[in-house]
Chain A
Amino acid sequence: MASASMRQFKAMLRKDVVMELRTKEMLMSMGLYSLLTMVVYFVALSQAGAGFDPRDIAAGLLWLAFIFTSMLGLNRSLVHEKDQGCLEALLLSPVDRPVIYFAKVTGNLLFLLIVEALTIPVFAFLFLQGETIDLRTMALIPLVLVAGSIGIAGVGTLLATMSVNTSGKDFVLAMLFIPLIYPLLLGAVMATGAAIVGTPEALGVFWTGMAWVIGYDVIMLLASYGLYEFIVGA
């Protein structure tokens, strides 16, 4: 059974990747949105005074961009499944509902991480050029990106499944997603900010933030795992 579930999981993930490589809909829209957000931030902050240190708000800006970018992708990923009743076809097959959930989460996570990996260098170029940064602590940023993105993809996939059948799905997803993601945002900004500042005392803050994010991931993934069957069968 476990091997059948693994095969089904891989097939669903492969299908999502093949379709995305063909259409590039999610990656293009998320990537462009994220890059445009960076440009808007840059223009908005270009008039800040000489005493302004972008490192103070860098983590917040970055995660806000990722949160809004992810909503764009989450909606698209479920709309693909709703097109021509594909989600119904999946639900008709003898696949455990959690396998469907985790395959969608993994796909969304993968695409979000690709967009984040493209955004970070642009962000660093626009905001951190010439700033004093510690490369050793900066190397910790991928950890918080992965942990934070797992939470975003986990909660977002569940909420997108709930909202995809509603008439104002974008609005409904935002209304549910933003309040629920708040604790994750807090931990992720704390950890990312500490990694950017890079002082020895910031390391303690980094791990506190990481613990917050990982705790959120575990709780929300378990809750989503338990709720998914109810949500798709309700």
Chain B
Amino acid sequence: MGDEPQTTALEVRELTRAFGVRRALDGVSFELPPYAFLSIFGPNGAGKTTLVKVLTTLLNPTSGNAKVLGLDVVADAVEMRKRIGLISHNPLLYPDLTAEENLRFFSEMYDVPDARGRVAELLEAVELDHRRLDLTRTFSRGMLQRLSIARALLHRPEVIFLDEPYSGLDPHAMDILDGLIAQIRHEHTFVMISHDLDKGLELCSHALILARGRIVMYEPREAIDDAAFRETYRSTVGMGVA
């Protein structure tokens, strides 16, 4: 790879992931340029979370392959994990550690340089510095999600995956998340799963609709007619689970 500029942030080829006889992903192929914002839509059971799990190395593909920043999700998994982050609707934090302890722990997992400074900087960015010594089990849903954002950004990932990040957030937490995304929007590639069409379309540079493990539509934002897109989305939601 060397120092050559990356031409694609994501490269997915005939990606299939089966659970027994059921194919959660069935021959998915697409490419995403660097610094793009991809919104993935689809009904429940469409394969959105499975796709993100494969792209974040949490699940191995059954067949096909995927590369993130030119790194294969299976062969280069450890190297890739240093360069990606995940913000999920699940906070991915230890409830019996304080906010600061959680971030310090994950700093060590990612070998973050000047961890103390980075943790303080992020706690301030997500407006939780005043609660840094409190156990996260005492946090509200919105506070947990803000801390989860800090955890995901600790190691300055180049590609950020967001799995329904707005789910369950209060308006203040949504504003903070919007603000953080806006701040780093042009320096990172984003992949977001969302059920919120308005929010997904507002943020994205590319949109993808997945149903029954297959791509129904994949277009850059400028090529999307909102009304036609909504109609396609409504019809895919009617397709139900894979």
Contact = CB atoms under 8 A, between A and B. Distances in A.
Interface of A: 4, 7-8, 11, 15, 18-19, 22-23, 80, 83-86, 88-96, 233-234
Contacts of A19: 94, 96-97
A95 B91 CA distance: 19
Contacts of B197: none
A96 B78 contact: yes
19 contacts: A7-B108, A8-B109, A11-B105, A15-B105, A19-B96, A22-B135, A23-B96, A84-B90, A84-B94, A84-B95, A86-B92, A89-B92, A89-B93, A91-B58, A92-B56, A92-B58, A92-B92, A94-B82, A94-B109
A88 B78 contact: no
Contact of B91 (A7, A85, A94): A85
Given A84-B93, A92-B57, 18 more contacts: A8-B108, A8-B109, A19-B96, A22-B96, A84-B91, A84-B144, A85-B90, A85-B92, A86-B94, A88-B88, A88-B92, A89-B106, A91-B58, A92-B81, A93-B110, A94-B82, A95-B109, A233-B58
A93 B94 contact: no
B92 A15 contact: no
Most chain A CB neighbours (cut-off 10 Å) among B60, B84, B94, B109: B109
A93 B81 CA distance: 6
A223 to B, nearest CB: 20
A203 B227 CA distance: 84
The 3 closest A-B pairs by CB, nearest first: A89-B92, A85-B90, A93-B109
A104 to B, nearest CB: 14
B114 to A, nearest CB: 15
A3 B88 CA distance: 30
A1 to B, nearest CB: 10
B108 to A, nearest CB: 4
A11 B88 CA distance: 23
B129 interface: no
Contacts of A93: 81, 106, 109-110
Interface of B: 56-60, 78-79, 81-82, 84, 86, 88, 90-97, 101, 105-106, 108-111, 135, 144, 151
Contacts of B60: 233-234
A22 B134 CA distance: 13
Contacts of A4: 111
Contacts of A22: 96, 135
Nearest to B101: A18
Most chain A CB neighbours (cut-off 10 Å) among B82, B84, B96, B101: B96
B111 A7 contact: yes
A4 B151 CA distance: 19
A11 B109 contact: yes
Contacts of B94: 15, 19, 80, 83-84, 86
A83 B96 CA distance: 10
Contacts of B96: 18-19, 22-23, 80
Contacts of A23: 96
B193 to A, nearest CB: 15
Nearest to A99: B109
Contact of A89 (B84, B95, B151): B151
B16 to A, nearest CB: 15
Nearest to B161: A92
A22 B97 CA distance: 9
A93 B151 CA distance: 11
